[in-house]
């Protein structure tokens, strides 16, 4: 009582006359309270020296151990319009089952016979390639024939040139002989004239010698003309040889040019055929993409786009699917200051949302409702929430996780570290110090 009022109740009413007053207001009531405080203090001091397991708590969610077992959304690589649905939400589909049918929205692919027409274009272009190949072969045969003919014609012209040169040599010899005969005739004429002046020869002899001299001179001039004509024939033969070589070189060059043109057309047509074959394959694959199929077996979670006739872009999500076979795992997050305390293979206790649990974080042996986990992966780069991601798998040495746990449900994790007295843990928490640097026994044995 605060004794504010001047009317004091304890003076007017005798509380000790009641049974409860007799039990409370007696001389030894404070002795029981002191004994309680002493016992509580002793128990508290004993508790301070009990072992306490340091731990790191974190919040996360249930996921899958392998990336291909996680929920995924099915996308269409091409734009289109929804024509028909073959499944509903909650259906179990197998790998390759058709989920929905889409139709084209681009005018380039409206033709239903596009693949067949592209195949016909490929066939026509292939025939064109064959025609170019035959033309190239014909031109190669023509070039070979022209080269053979040029060789024969050049040999013929060279023979004619050789004949002309031999004729020049023959005419040169005849010219020398005619010159010799002319000189002999001139000496005979001179000698006859001298004898005639001395009266030893008649005038008729002089006239005969003069006539013979004129005949030899005429033969000499005629032989000179023949020699010049032979030399002219040599020149003509050389000119003809050059003309034949140039003529056939022009013909062969023209044929080679035609062959190169045909080859260029052949290569260009082959490139068009290759391009059409590529387009043919793309059209075939695109036609198959009009049926959206399940990439793996699982359950249809949600149709992200519904209705009939709804158009969408390429890469847009159409439906989400959850694999029906998966290995559960838990992803949790720890502070950067606690990351050095986490090691691969370390044991972790997990509390799942929706499961009753009694947790004593420092005494895991007396906790109820938690499940064992083991660290299998530690992220080496910080996440968007400023923490590091840790992936946990079920502990094979502990009891199995609940079958009703679903991917995406929440989980709370407790990573168990070193064992310290409770007073040390209280002192650490009051000062804000991190847990003791701890290495598991497995890491120490591997180091040894």
E strands within 179-290?
none
In angstroms, the CA 33 to CA 24 distance is 12
pLDDT of residue 24: 62
Which residue, 230, 249, 241, is CA-closest to 157? 241
Q: Tell me: do 158 and 270 sit in the same domain.
A: yes
Q: Tell me: do 11 and 87 sit in the same domain.
A: no
Q: Tell me: do 65 and 76 sit in the same domain.
A: no
Burial 384-393 (b: 16+ CB within 10 A, else e): eeebbbbbbb
pLDDT of residue 226: 85
pLDDT of residue 278: 92
Q: Is residue 401 part of a domain?
A: yes
Q: Tell me: do 257 and 294 sit in the same domain.
A: no
Which residue, 55, 49, 43, 59, is CA-closest to 367? 55
Question: What sign results for the dihedral spanned by CA atoms 249, 255, 259, 262?
Answer: positive
Other Cβ atoms closer than 10 A to 414: 24
Q: 157 in helix, strand or coil?
A: helix
Q: Tell me: do 383 and 244 sit in the same domain.
A: no
Least confident range from 26-30, 64-68, 412-416: namely 26-30
pLDDT at 197 over 60: yes
Question: What sign results for the dihedral spanned by CA atoms 254, 259, 265, 271?
Answer: negative
Long-range contacts of 358-363 (CB under 8 A, 24+ apart): 359/414, 361/53, 361/55, 361/57, 361/414, 362/52, 362/53, 362/54, 362/55, 362/422, 362/425, 363/52, 363/53
User: What would the pLDDT profile of 152-182 be if each residue is shown by its tens digit?
Assistant: 888 888 888 888 888 888 888 888 888 888 8
State the DSSP H helix or E strand holding residue 375, giving kind and residue range, or none if neither: strand 371-378
Q: Is residue 145 part of a domain?
A: yes
Residue with tokens 């050389």: 238
Q: Is residue 187 part of a domain?
A: yes
List 373's β-bridge partners, or say none.
348, 394
E strands within 134-289?
none
CATH label of the domain that carries residue 94: 2.40.50.100
DSSP letter for 339, please: G
pLDDT of residue 428: 67
pLDDT at 128 over 80: yes
Q: 438 and 415 in contact (C-beta within 8 Å)?
A: no
Residue with tokens 């076979």: 325
Q: Tell me: do 349 and 395 sit in the same domain.
A: yes
DSSP letter for 2, please: -
Q: Is residue 105 part of a domain?
A: no
pLDDT at 29 over 60: no
Mean local confidence (pLDDT), 359-366 = 50
pLDDT at 267 over 80: yes
List 80's β-bridge partners, or say none.
312
Q: Tell me: do 385 and 237 sit in the same domain.
A: no
Query: Domain total for the chain?
Result: 4
Which residue, 66, 68, 65, 64, is CA-closest to 296? 68
List 416's β-bridge partners, or say none.
55
Q: Is residue 103 part of a domain?
A: no
Q: Tell me: do 37 and 57 sit in the same domain.
A: no
pLDDT of residue 77: 86
**Confidence band (pLDDT; 50, 70, 90) for 204?**
confident
Q: Tell me: do 142 and 216 sit in the same domain.
A: yes
pLDDT at 368 over 60: no
Q: Tell me: do 231 and 219 sit in the same domain.
A: yes
Mean local confidence (pLDDT), 181-195 = 81
In angstroms, the CA 120 to CA 320 distance is 40
Q: Is residue 108 part of a domain?
A: no
State the DSSP H helix or E strand holding residue 256, giving kind and residue range, or none if neither: helix 203-288
Tokens describing residue 45 = 């001091």
Q: Is residue 415 part of a domain?
A: yes
The range of the structural domain enclosing residue 311 comes to: 72-98+290-323
Which residues are CB-contacts of 409 (< 8 A; sequence separation ≥ 6)? 61, 62, 352, 353, 354
CATH label of the domain that carries residue 363: 2.40.30.170
Other Cβ atoms closer than 10 A to 56: 24
pTM of the model: 0.56
At residue 181's C-alpha, the angle toward residues 178 and 186, to 5°, is: 125
Q: Is residue 150 part of a domain?
A: yes
Question: Could you tell me how many helices (H) and strands (E) the chain has, helices first?
Answer: 7, 14
Which residues are CB-contacts of 335 (< 8 A; sequence separation ≥ 6)? 56, 387, 388
Q: Tell me: do 299 and 275 sit in the same domain.
A: no
Mean local confidence (pLDDT), 337-356 = 79
Which residues are CB-contacts of 237 (< 8 A; sequence separation ≥ 6)? 157, 160, 161, 163, 164
Q: Tell me: do 181 and 64 sit in the same domain.
A: no
Q: Percentage of residues in the chain with pLDDT exceeding 70?
A: 81
pLDDT of residue 175: 80
pLDDT of residue 343: 80
CATH label of the domain that carries residue 278: 1.10.287.620
């Amino acid at each position: 009582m605060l004794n504010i009022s001047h009317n004091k109740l304890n003076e007017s009413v005798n509380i000790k006359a009641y049974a409860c007053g007799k039990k409370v207001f007696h001389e030894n009531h404070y002795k029981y309270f002191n004994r309680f405080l002493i016992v509580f203090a002793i128990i508290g001091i004993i508790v301070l020296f009990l072992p306490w397991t340091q731990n790191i708590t974190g919040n996360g969610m249930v996921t899958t151990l392998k990336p291909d077992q996680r929920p995924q959304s099915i996308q269409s690589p091409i734009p289109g319009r929804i024509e028909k649905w073959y499944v509903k939400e909650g259906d179990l589909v197998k790998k390759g089952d058709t989920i929905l049918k889409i139709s084209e929205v681009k005018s380039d692919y409206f033709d239903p016979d596009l693949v067949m027409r592209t195949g016909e274009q490929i066939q026509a272009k292939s025939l064109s390639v064959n025609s170019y190949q035959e033309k190239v072969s014909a031109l190669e045969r023509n070039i070979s024939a022209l080269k053979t003919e040029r060789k024969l014609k050049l040999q013929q012209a060279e023979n004619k040139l050789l004949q002309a040169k031999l004729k020049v040599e023959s005419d040169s010899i005849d010219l020398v002989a005619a010159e010799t005969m002319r000189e002999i005739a001139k000496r005979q004429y001179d000698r006859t004239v001298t004898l005639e002046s001395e009266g030893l020869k008649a005038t008729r002899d002089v006239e005969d010698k003069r006539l013979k001299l004129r005949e030899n001179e005429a033969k000499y001039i005629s032989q000179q003309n023949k020699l010049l004509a032979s030399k002219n024939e040599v020149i003509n033969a050389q000119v003809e040889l050059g003309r034949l070589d140039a003529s056939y070189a022009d013909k062969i060059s023209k044929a080679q040019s035609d062959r190169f043109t045909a080859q260029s057309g052949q290569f260009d047509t082959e490139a068009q055929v290759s391009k059409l074959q590529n387009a043919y394959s793309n059209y075939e694959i695109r036609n198959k993409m009009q049926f959206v199929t399940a990439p793996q077996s699982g359950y249809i979670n949600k149709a992200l786009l519904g209705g009939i006739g709804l158009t969408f872009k390429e890469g847009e999500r159409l439906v989400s699917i959850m694999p029906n076979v998966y290995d559960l795992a838990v992803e949790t997050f720890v502070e950067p200051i606690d990351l050095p305390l986490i090691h691969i293979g370390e044991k972790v206790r997990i509390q799942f949302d929706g499961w009753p649990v009694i947790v004593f974080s420092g005494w895991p042996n007396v906790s109820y409702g938690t499940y064992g986990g083991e660290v299998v992966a530690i992220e080496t780069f910080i996440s968007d929430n400023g923490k590091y991601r840790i992936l946990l798998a079920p502990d094979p040495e502990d009891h199995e996780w609940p079958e009703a746990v679903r991917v995406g449900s929440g989980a709370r994790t407790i990573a168990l570290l070193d064992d310290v007295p409770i007073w040390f843990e209280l002192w650490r928490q009051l000062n804000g110090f991190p847990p003791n640097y701890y290495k598991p026994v497995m890491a120490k044995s591997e180091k040894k």
